[in-house]
Amino acid sequence: MEIRLSNIKDSKRIPKWSMTISGHGDELKLHESTLLRFGNPIMVGNPPISKDLVFVGRKKFYFHTVANITGTPLSFHRLSLKVDKIVLREDVVILNMNGQAYSEMNGQLESTHKMKLIFVHAYDGELNQNGDAKSMVRIKISS
């Protein structure tokens, strides 16, 4: 009986659909920002989202993003995940002495209309020298 209840509980946690997509931004100079461009997604099931990250229909979904930024050591960067033009999550990071930083953002949202997810990388400032920066991000979206 206990094993059967455990299997029922576990089966409710499996997402009905999911999508994983990777993207990258242009190389940035100080005080510039860029929208990240995404490649072809890996889809499981039938996600209510296009490869351009536009949701259709009324669905609740979860997201997990992992971003990698490289550039000038001790520089400040802002990462924003937006729905249409509204900021959903934002993270400010400083690059370490090797010129690298990582950021993770999690959350859930219910789409109420046709919505577009946008990921923005902004190079806000630096402490020691001017240089370039670029970013890569991987987003997993699931039911």
Mean pLDDT by 10 residues, the chain (143 residues): 55 75 91 91 86 80 93 93 89 94 91 85 87 91 86
**Residue that is written with structure tokens 């190079």 in the block:** 123
Q: Are 54 and 115 in contact (CB under 8 A)?
A: yes
pTM above 0.85, yes or no: no
The CATH number of 17-142 is which of 2.170.130.10, 2.60.120.40, 3.40.50.20, 3.30.1490.100?
A: 2.60.120.40
Quick one: pLDDT at residue 12?
59
Q: What's the pLDDT at 51? A: 77
Tell me, what's the pLDDT at 5? Answer: 53
Task: Compute how many other C-beta atoms are within 10 angstroms of the C-beta atom of residue 24.
Answer: 16
Q: Provide the pLDDT for residue 71.
A: 92
